[in-house]
A and B are shown apart, each in its own frame.
Chain A
Amino acid sequence: MANTMVDPRARERLHLFEALAERHRGAIYGLAYRLTGNRDDAEDLVQDTLIEAFRAFARFTAGTRFDRWVCQIMTRNFIDSRRRSRVRRCVPLDDVSNGMGLSDRAADPQAIVESRAREARLQEALNQIPPEFRAAVMLCDGQGFSYEEASRALRCPVGTVRSRLHRAREQLRQLLRELARKDGE
């Protein structure tokens, strides 16, 4: 699609951006999904984030990992949008399992079911904790951010990241126990 562009430098930039985004698509979409909790919102968040990232590509500095840079933009977008709307969105859980593991025909059906259930429980638990907590746990545990990196992404002190992360894990632990109990595990 970049080939239709007239300016060769702009085309090259777009090529490069596409290549980097493609390379990190798993991490980018994964974070979006975990933050929003459903596919439609995740796709919206990815698209908005990538558009913003492309506009800011000139500020992308050497030595920065592209996936982390995009995840930082995404997290800020997510937190800002949640603060603006202050609306906790409902998450259709039947949407969660869409396609999960089904492509692997050789997989053990029981393992697939268990994997789906685990994923659904994790997402449901994540959906029930505050967005700021969710972002902290997804950046640090999901994306491997250090406290300092998460602090920059979340625009809060390192101590706040630590506090949010600990409380997020504590709440997740309790929620996962309750959900597992409901599922009879």
Chain B
Amino acid sequence: MQSGSSCHGNWSLANDYVDGRLKGRRRRSAEAHLTQCAHCRETVEEVRRLRRLVAETPVPPPSTGFWERCMQTIAVRAQSPRGSLWRGRWPTVRLVLAGALVALLAWSLLGRRPGGLVERTQPSEQLAALQSQYLAQHVAFVLGQPLNLTSHYVLLKALSEADSDAESSGEAAGMSVAPTQVATASAASGQRSLSAAAWLVRAITAPRRVSYSAWQQIVIRGPEGEITQRVRVVHRVPDDNRWEYFAGPGQVERVVVDDGQLAWQHLPRQHRVIYAPCLRADPNLRGDQYIERLAENYSITAAGRERIAGLPAVLLVIAPRDGHCGPTQWLWVDEHSGLVLRSQTRSADGHITVTSALSDVRFPQTLPDREFSPPMRVTRQSVLLAQAVALPLEALAREWGHALLTPGAMPAGYSLESARFVRQGRQSFVHLCYSDGLNTISLFETAALPTGASGGAAQGDQVHGSPAIWGGRGSFRALSWQEQGLSLMLVGDLPSDEMLRLARGVHRAP
């Protein structure tokens, strides 16, 4: 196995050659030599025969019933005190990260656009901006699945391994894995739907495990047209995020950074840095029942595999169960990192309303602090430093000092998730959030604002004698009206008639 003529069938080189350990010039040299040297060809063939012999020779079977006895032993050990090592091994996981990544992006996106809620509202700009922040939060919820998981994490993680195992086996065999194959192992234990949910968990927990940088393109489509935003995203485990918005090639229009508690936004042209609370700082955003509720109302299916941004991805389809009113979401989850590489939200009539896609994804080992530090020598401002507290409905009404209004019959599967009292300077409002585990419907209430303060346009609809004003982005619709001395805004991803029905059902809380 040498380029010279004095070889003696070099055993080690033959092994390296067969094992694919020779690269480049050495491999070419070896191949050239093999064409001329019968002795070395035989040596190479001998290594191959040995490999085949070891790989292909079957072993005698174990004794009858061995496997069952073995599993029985494990089951017994699993029930013993020593076997129950599971308990307490996994720390409590409170994760609202993935959604918040998109939350700030969506917040920024909504705030930037001419005609967006922030810039359109007069005279109560700050309050409406706060409302838009919450609207963005809803967008984020659908896009990114903010989660607070505790008890289900261990099980779902374990089930996700079954899927990844099935996947990697398929990949090793060079197969395209069909939906049934994706969940093979977990299907064996009768948990196919949870198995796909486990992929979802992997996706939403990925930012806690993986630092990455990428280009992200978000497209929001709605009756008002299409908004496209291309952003450079940098994420550092566990909580640092940076988004760079470009006005043109090489022109950074602004940079948004958050560390999980505080977000700041740098506007280079204005030499300003604006600080704002991070949306995900509210620990009450999600409840532990998230997955259970989601699984009750939506089917979660691993629908196949595709390559997205050059990476192998599992396609998850989260679709409303029969009779349930909610959007459908498709997520492409990177098999290795768990990162959501692409997502699509489809309204009930099948139209794609929001898409988000990563490209040029990289996983750097380290990311410098300067990426997440505000620039020097700029004007610093703080906005939207609102205080938001979660309260029971009765306490919330007392704190607010107004009679609280609540929606009528919510669509099946939705229940009250949080009730918050938000104070912004001298203004305050209430935010009631209802969720089905995936979709959210929010009712905002504040002291009556001048008509039109919440943006949008009247379309002839009325709620309790007040003109109904429609707004929103993509599939998210915002319906505003006034009654009983309050301005109300209902926000959700529901058909118009359902939104109107809910608005007309609003009544004074008992």
* A residues neighboring B (CB under 8 Å): 1-2, 4-5, 7, 9-10, 12-23, 25, 29-30, 33-34, 39, 42-43, 46-47, 50-51, 54-55, 57-58, 60-66, 95-101, 115, 118-119, 122, 137-138, 140-142, 144, 147, 162, 165-166, 169-170, 172-173, 176
- Interface-forming stretch among B130-138, B163-171, B289-297, B315-323? B163-171
27 contacts between A and B (CB under 8 A): A1-B75, A2-B78, A9-B151, A9-B154, A10-B78, A12-B159, A14-B74, A16-B159, A16-B191, A20-B162, A20-B185, A22-B67, A23-B185, A33-B60, A43-B70, A58-B154, A63-B164, A65-B169, A97-B60, A99-B60, A101-B58, A141-B54, A162-B21, A166-B11, A169-B15, A176-B50, A176-B53
Residues of B within 8 A of A (CB): 11-12, 15-16, 19, 21, 46-47, 50-51, 53-55, 57-63, 66-67, 70-75, 77-79, 83-86, 89-90, 151, 154-155, 157-162, 164-165, 168-169, 172, 184-186, 188-191, 202, 335-336, 338
Complex formed: what's the CA distance from A118 to B49 in Å? 13
- In the complex the two chains form, what is the Cα distance from A30 to B333 in whole Å? 34
Across-interface contacts of A39 in B (CB, < 8 A)? 60, 62-63
Q: Which of B53, B90, B165 has the most chain A CB atoms closer than 10 A to its own CB? A: B165
Q: A10-B78, A17-B74, A170-B11 are in contact. Are A62 and B162 (CB under 8 A)?
A: no
CB distance from A161 to the nearest CB of B (A): 10
Q: Which listed residue, A2, A33, A172, touches B75 by the CB 8 Å rule?
A: A2
Which residue in chain A gives the minimum CB-CB distance to B334?
A63
Q: What residues on B are CB-neighbors of A34 within 8 Å?
A: 54, 59
- Residues on the A chain within 8 Å of B67, using CB: 22, 25
In the complex, chain A residues whose CB is within 8 Å of the CB of B46: 173
Q: How far is the CA of A165 from the CA of B75 in the complex (A)?
A: 37
Contact of B168 among A14, A58, A63 (CB under 8 A): A63
Query: A100: shortest Cβ distance to chain B, in Å?
Result: 5
* Cα A50 to Cα B189 with chains together (Å): 18
A66 touching B55, Cβ below 8 Å: no
Number of residue pairs spanning A and B whose beta carbons lie under 8 angstroms apart: 181
* Contact A12–B47 (Cβ < 8 Å): no
Do B185 and A30 touch (CB < 8 A)? no
Contact A122 B162 (CB under 8 A): no
Q: Is the CB of A122 within 8 A of B57?
A: yes
Known contacts A173-B46, A176-B50, then 20 further A-B pairs from the complex at CB < 8 Å, ordered by chain A residue: A1-B71, A2-B78, A9-B151, A10-B86, A12-B159, A14-B75, A15-B189, A16-B185, A18-B71, A19-B186, A46-B70, A51-B74, A58-B89, A58-B154, A64-B165, A65-B168, A96-B60, A100-B58, A141-B50, A147-B21
